[in-house]
Amino acid sequence: MLFGALEAGGTKMVLAIGNENGEILEQVSIPTETPSITIPKIIEYYKGKEIAALGIGSFGPIDLDKKSKTYGYITSTPKLAWANYDLVGNIKKELPLPIGFDTDVNGSALGEATWGITKDVESSIYITIGTGVGIGVYLNGGLLHGMLHPEAGHVLLSKHPDDKFEGVCPYHPNCLEGLASGPSIEKRWGKKAIDLKDNQKVWEIEAYYIAQALVGYILTLSPHRIVLGGGVMHQEQLFPLIRSKVTELLNGYVRTSQINDMEHYIVPAALNDNQGIMGCIQLAKMELQNK
């Protein structure tokens, strides 16, 4: 059986066809322009491909409440052409199929939980640290939505004593995204992350912020495993620094076999940066099963 998968990002759209085993059979990328340019291209791609359902993991914020009049919309995004845009509805008009819909990062959490590094545990979170910071939460076979969906890239943190940088978030002077996203690293140090590999202070400060956020997630969501993905996390030297800081900050308070085995508790994404699009395949499958 074939499924369509669409990872809708603010700068590019990844379109793929996969099967029920999460195998990607074909994949293309197109730039995210305005809906009137981009949506017809998306529809064109999937038409005639005989997919049974489509799964969309979208940038946000989005409306995931099936009882809401604006279910399936991208809502208050600063990308104005897409603000208050009925993404699911406009695609469904031309592709009358079951369409699964969730946040991009819930898609990644689902991809890893279905086929990747968290497939053996009941609950997990996936954190992407790149241009922005987002988290997806997988719990007991489903994805966490709640009132809206997690926006835990914006959790508030204490500043590192040596960090005088004011952050890049327009909303919060001291949130994770403002202090630890790729753009914040670049603005703080005047270079891209990839060109700062040998500057230890960069990664000490970065790990300090990421670890603080993880401690909050651990205490609040109690996930069985934490996956870190996104461009910044390609700097693999961060992992031991983060694990050690999380252990220091928890200070023995949470005692579980998982926490005692940090190397297998805080782990890199394992699906070669395909966790998002593979998660969209699973969103499609789940939507079809729920019909």
| DSSP state string for 106-120 | HHHHHHHHHHSTTTT
| CA distance to 208, 253, 288, per residue, from 54 (Å) | 39, 43, 9
Sole window of 5-13, 41-49, 182-190, 255-263 interacting with a copy of itself (rule: CB under 8 A) = 255-263
If one asks whether residue 260 binds a copy of itself (CB under 8 A), the answer comes out as no
If one asks whether residue 290 binds a copy of itself (CB under 8 A), the answer comes out as no
x/- track of binding to a copy of itself for residues 86-125 (CB under 8 A)? ------------------------------------xx--
Q: Are 16 and 24 in contact (CB under 8 A)?
A: yes
If one asks whether residue 255 binds a copy of itself (CB under 8 A), the answer comes out as yes
Contact residues for 239 (Cβ-Cβ < 8 A; gap 6+):
228, 266, 267, 268
CB of 208 to a copy of itself, least distance (A): 12
**Ranges within 37-76 binding a copy of itself (CB under 8 A):** 61, 75-76
Give residue 196's region: left, alpha or beta (phi > 0; psi -120 to 50). alpha
For a copy of itself, which residue of 252, 263, 272, 290 counts as binding (CB under 8 A)?
252
Measured from the CB atom, the residue of 222 and 244 that comes closer to a copy of itself is: 222
What percentage of the chain's residues is helix, strand, coil (to nearest 5)? 40, 20, 35
**Ranges within 185-214 binding a copy of itself (CB under 8 A):** 212
Number of residues that bind a copy of itself (CB under 8 A): 47
CA dist., res. 3 & res. 16, Å (int): 8
**Ranges within 210-229 binding a copy of itself (CB under 8 A):** 212, 215-217, 219-224
CA dist., res. 291 & res. 282, Å (int): 14
Site residues, a copy of itself (CB under 8 A): 61, 75-76, 122-123, 135, 139-140, 142, 144-152, 154-159, 171-172, 174, 212, 215-217, 219-224, 249-256, 258-259
